[in-house]
């Protein structure tokens, strides 16, 4: 079974928090990490990557924080999130073209792995990130850290 790494989990937690906060509230990395008891350093780097990729708007300063870019976010897939957080990704390292594989010339599963990789990419691309965040919660519980 495939497993999301912690950075992807923290990205989803942060995106859900920001989604619940709405369009009028900036949320800091500190606010998010304190509320969910997740590591600040990793979560902060995840938020920075999302901002650099255009998923979030960031504002510096004492009252700064992050907000979802509402024109961009609803159209993003789980596959795109994986690429923002982890970079180029494949089910096996040899499918990332810049990696050398010592057994590539004798590999008997390259073709099936390519097919599996494409199917997984297609599947993950079909899942909107926003659909993973749509569990109803009370916004006051989130905003009042």
Q: What is the pTM of this model?
A: 0.82
Write out the chain's pLDDT in tens, 145 residues: 577 899 999 999 999 999 988 888 899 999 999 999 999 999 999 999 999 999 999 998 888 899 999 888 888 999 999 999 998 878 877 777 656 777 777 888 888 888 998 999 999 999 999 888 876 554 444 444 4
Domain layout of the chain by residue ranges? 6-133
For the 6-133 domain, the top CATH level (class) is mainly alpha
Judge whether 67 and 57 are in contact, CB under 8 Å.
yes
d(CA 39, CA 17): 15
């Amino acid at each position: 079974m495939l497993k999301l790494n912690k950075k992807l989990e923290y990205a989803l937690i942060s995106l859900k928090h920001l989604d619940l906060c709405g369009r009028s509230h900036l949320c800091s990395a500190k606010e998010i990490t304190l509320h969910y008891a997740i590591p600040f350093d990793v979560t902060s780097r995840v938020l920075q990557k999302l901002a650099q990729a255009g998923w979030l708007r960031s504002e510096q300063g004492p009252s700064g924080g992050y907000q979802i870019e509402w024109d961009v976010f609803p159209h993003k897939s789980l596959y795109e999130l994986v690429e923002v957080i982890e970079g180029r990704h494949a089910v096996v390292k040899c499918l990332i073209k810049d990696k050398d594989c010592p057994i590539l010339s004798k590999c008997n599963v390259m073709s099936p792995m390519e097919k599996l990789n494409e199917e997984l990419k297609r599947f993950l691309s079909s899942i909107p990130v926003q659909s993973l965040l749509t569990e109803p919660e009370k916004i006051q519980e989130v905003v009042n850290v």
